[in-house]
Homo-oligomer: A and B are copies of this chain.
Amino acid sequence: MAEQITPREVSYSDWFVDIVLKAQLADYSPVKGCMVIRPRGYAIWEKIQSHLDRMFKETGHQNAYFPLLIPESFLHKEAEHVEGFSPELAVVTHGGGEALEEPLVVRPTSETIIWSMYKKWIQSYRDLPLLINQWANVVRWEKRTRLFLRTTEFLWQEGHTAHATREEAEEEALRMLHVYRKFAEEYLALPVFYGRKTESEKFAGAVTTYSIEAMMQDKKALQAGTSHFLGQNFAKAFDVTFQTQAGSLDYVWATSWGVSTRLIGAVIMAHSDNRGLVLPPRIAPTQAVIIPIYTKKTVDQVADYAKRVFARLTEAGLSVEMDLDDQNSPGWKFAEWELRGVPIRVEVGPRDMEQEKAVLVRRDTGEKRAVSVSRLPEEIPVLLEEIQKTLFRRAKDFRDEHTHYVEDYDSFKRIIEDGGFVFAPWSGSPEVEARIKEETKATIRVLEFGNEEKASGKNDILTGEPARHIALFAKSY
């Protein structure tokens, strides 16, 4: 048998770790809180990167690269920013065998170093907008870490844009929120709720933080991407002004936005099952795996047949692997490739060979169908899209089933306790938000756009005061 993984029902967190380790997506490293992303995991990141990078470029952004190490004093220039990140910093104190005059922090995020450069590059409205993205590693000293979801070092992209007007910057922050939403839904097959964060949950240094929130199979929320309208906070901290078209001087308006390798964790947790990884086809590095089913007499012929099918699919531009091993049984191989999350299994046995056919087996449903080999180059892409849609639909049904609207605190507590998302009226008071968090561990994930209107006439779930929002509450990663 292929390696066993702990069933979800027995331990959700062991199930997750088992999939990550046994599908060889990542491994623990000797450096506390840091993981190694193994080839099968990194290939998913490459798929995510290639789609997102295209979407960023289609919306006018260019990539650049800024230093890893940031003078410690830079973080102090924006008061909320330093307060937010100070507890998480890794600090370089020695370089080239000598103590540094000023310590350098390993970037936890790059607003400060980037805005110190924008000061050099921006003088006039003609230099705006400046639409830059960076693919990079960042380090945040985390006390409790989890593979992919929260690691001391992680890979991400961080967009940093500069604009002449408040409106344009706000538009950009929303544009990128929608790029993330679209990417999550169409590529990761993750339905998301989206909107803005409350004051207590927003990014350190932002005026407004927007996020997308997905439900995992344990009914907890996972923040899958954030986009920040930074106002003029960083422009003021780094004194970045520009000459407006009218000739006056103004501070530049800013946004930043990012997603990380955490998305891989989200995808694993949202779609996988007790047999292992389930991957949305659009981000699956391998779309199909060919497994020959040998009988003792037919090993050579069936292997040749498998190779012909492999060649045909590869020529058609499909990304295919083939498992020609003749030691392990077909059943063992089926389990192994299911564990690895390849969306389609292509079985070819002696009888299929005679009929010039193959059997396609879906990873998501187990459904089988026999198809002529000549039809495979058309059938497989169609089937991949069906799987993609099924995964999205399944995740959405699950989420909707576990998302409730309530108006009384007892129901609220019960649902949060059982697991699920709760929309509930909220007064807008940070004290209420804090007390609910303390009592239930649920936080406000987002305030959806237009939620205020729906709150009219409702009463705060905790205090009964007039509600100003319908907020989405959940326990989260």
Contact = CB atoms under 8 A, between A and B. Distances in A.
A132 interface: yes
Interface in A100-120: 103-104, 106, 113, 116-117, 120
Interface residues of A, dominant DSSP = mixed
B67 A31 contact: yes
A390 interface: no
Interface string A27-54: 1011100111111011101100000000
A27 B96 contact: no
A43 B65 CA distance: 10
Interface string A54-97: 00000000111111111100100000000000111111111111
Contacts of A37: 64-65
B93 A89 contact: no
A90 B97 contact: no
A137 B64 contact: no
B27 A117 contact: yes
A86 B116 CA distance: 31
Contact of A43 (B38, B63, B96): B63
A174 interface: no
A39 B67 contact: no
A114 to B, nearest CB: 9
A272 to B, nearest CB: 21
B62 A42 contact: yes
A155 interface: yes
A153 interface: yes
A57 to B, nearest CB: 10
A39 to B, nearest CB: 4
A96 B141 contact: yes
A296 interface: no
A138 to B, nearest CB: 9
Assembly stoichiometry (copies): 2
Interface in A286-326: none
A65 B36 contact: yes
Contact of A62 (B36, B43, B64): B43
Contacts of A89: 94-97
Given A64-B36, A92-B106, A97-B87, A113 B143 contact: no
Interface residues of A, number: 56
A68 B113 contact: no
A266 interface: no
B94 A90 contact: yes
A214 interface: no
A139 interface: yes
B90 A69 contact: yes
Contacts of A64: 36-39, 41-42
Interface string A216-260: 000000000000000000000000000000000000000000000
B65 A42 contact: yes
A348 B65 CA distance: 35
Nearest to A67: B34
Given A63-B43, A64-B39, A86 B97 contact: yes
Contacts of A39: 62-64, 132
B117 A67 contact: no
Interface of A: 27, 29-31, 34-39, 41-43, 45-46, 62-71, 74, 86-97, 103-104, 106, 113, 116-117, 120-121, 132, 136-137, 139, 141-143, 152-153, 155
Lowest 5 A-B CB distances belong to which pairs? Answer: A96-B141, A39-B62, A34-B67, A37-B65, A91-B94
